[in-house]
């Protein structure tokens, strides 16, 4: 079973994402900020990370920058899930190490397509 870590400060987004991912047969862990997310990655590196951009404690960009510098941190596929939709933000996310980008709010089909694009669905 593939594993996914949802890093998002919104409980609603985590709940919706978990429901979609579990229907796609992922095991799911949650973190409400980037620091908690990095701690969970240190315990067990997931196959996929759904990552919010704007969070307290540590932003999504700070999270992915630190993740990619860690041993094994190059392995997870990272999909940014955010309301930021301009080209500059997308470019920044990709150059920081993101594999894909999905706009909030997203539905089952949209997330499944993004996971297929990164080879995880």
CATH number for the domain harbouring residue 36: 3.40.50.2300
Q: Which of 117, 113, 111 lies closest to 50 in space, CA to CA?
A: 111
Structural domain contains residue 80: yes
Q: What is the pTM of this model?
A: 0.96
How many structural domains comprise the chain?
1
Structural domain contains residue 73: yes
Structural domain contains residue 117: no
Mean pLDDT, contiguous 10-residue spans, the chain (121 residues): 97 96 98 97 98 95 97 97 86 95 94 96 84
pLDDT the model gives residue 86: 84
> Which domain does 83 fall in, by range?
1-106
């Amino acid at each position: 079973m593939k594993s996914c870590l949802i890093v998002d400060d919104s409980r609603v987004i985590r709940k919706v994402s978990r429901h979609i991912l579990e229907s796609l047969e992922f095991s799911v862990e949650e973190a409400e900020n980037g620091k908690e997310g990095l701690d969970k990655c240190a315990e067990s590196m997931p196959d996929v990370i759904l990552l919010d951009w704007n969070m307290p404690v540590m932003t999504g960009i700070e999270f992915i920058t630190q993740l990619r510098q860690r041993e094994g941190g190059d392995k997870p596929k990272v999909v940014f899930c955010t309301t930021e939709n301009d080209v500059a933000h997308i470019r920044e996310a990709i150059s920081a190490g993101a594999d894909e980008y999905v706009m909030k709010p997203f539905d089952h089909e949209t997330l499944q397509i993004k996971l297929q694009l990164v080879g995880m669905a």
